[in-house]
Chain A
């Protein structure tokens, strides 16, 4: 595997379910990101981790719970979601947040298409 991978690619869940999205990067990066991509809206940054430490939480509801056990893996745990949470969830990684933005290109995964019924 190369680059950034995400599993599953598609997920359908009910509002009472608990599920997790997984992201893995094979680039030796130390920063990882979760984004939400909804139709007709710009990408929204949700969480940022740098060297396994969470550095950003963009006012995301607590029904989304991230976990970063190491620099290569990032999870997004989901519980009691709402239909409006249906979206494409993208994971990205970059070298680390100590570098300037220009040197810190973000590499994206293919996304998980989430549908909440």
Chain B
């Protein structure tokens, strides 16, 4: 079974500053994907960034980037130049690759980190 742990229930950051949200996971699978989802107060959850486990290069999407450490099973999210619109719950999630043979398409989520951006 897979588990995802987000150790920071709440965080805050000043506008325009940089913040890093941590995520660790546990799995015995070798082929998998990792995701960060954002859920603003209006509740529609959206995908922020995703990472393929077999890729060494860290994914980036504009102001969002990840630090993926496969050996340590760590997948942190860095938000640069924080904006007020970044205020939201952030969820780290894990999914086994279909081609691993496990056939699972289930997303396993962490409990989330509530990020507040302060003006």
Contacts and interface: CB of A to CB of B under 8 A. Distances in A.
B95 A43 contact: no
A90 B93 CA distance: 16
Contacts, number: 52
A79 B112 CA distance: 30
Query: Secondary structure of the A side of the interface?
Result: loop
Interface stretch (B12-20, B39-47, B62-70, B75-83): B39-47
Interface residues of A, number: 23
B91 A88 contact: no
A42 B98 contact: no
B65 to A, nearest CB: 18
Contacts of B33: 101-102
A48 B105 contact: yes
Interface of B: 4, 32-33, 37, 42-47, 50, 52, 91, 95-99, 105-112
A88 to B, nearest CB: 7
Given A100-B97, A101-B98, A110-B43, A56 B108 contact: no
B105 A40 contact: no
A100 B98 CA distance: 5
Contact of A90 (B32, B45, B50, B106): B45
30 contacts: A40-B111, A41-B111, A42-B4, A42-B91, A42-B108, A42-B109, A42-B111, A43-B107, A43-B109, A48-B106, A56-B106, A92-B45, A97-B105, A99-B98, A100-B97, A100-B99, A101-B95, A101-B98, A101-B105, A102-B97, A105-B47, A105-B50, A106-B47, A106-B107, A108-B37, A108-B45, A108-B46, A110-B42, A111-B43, A111-B44
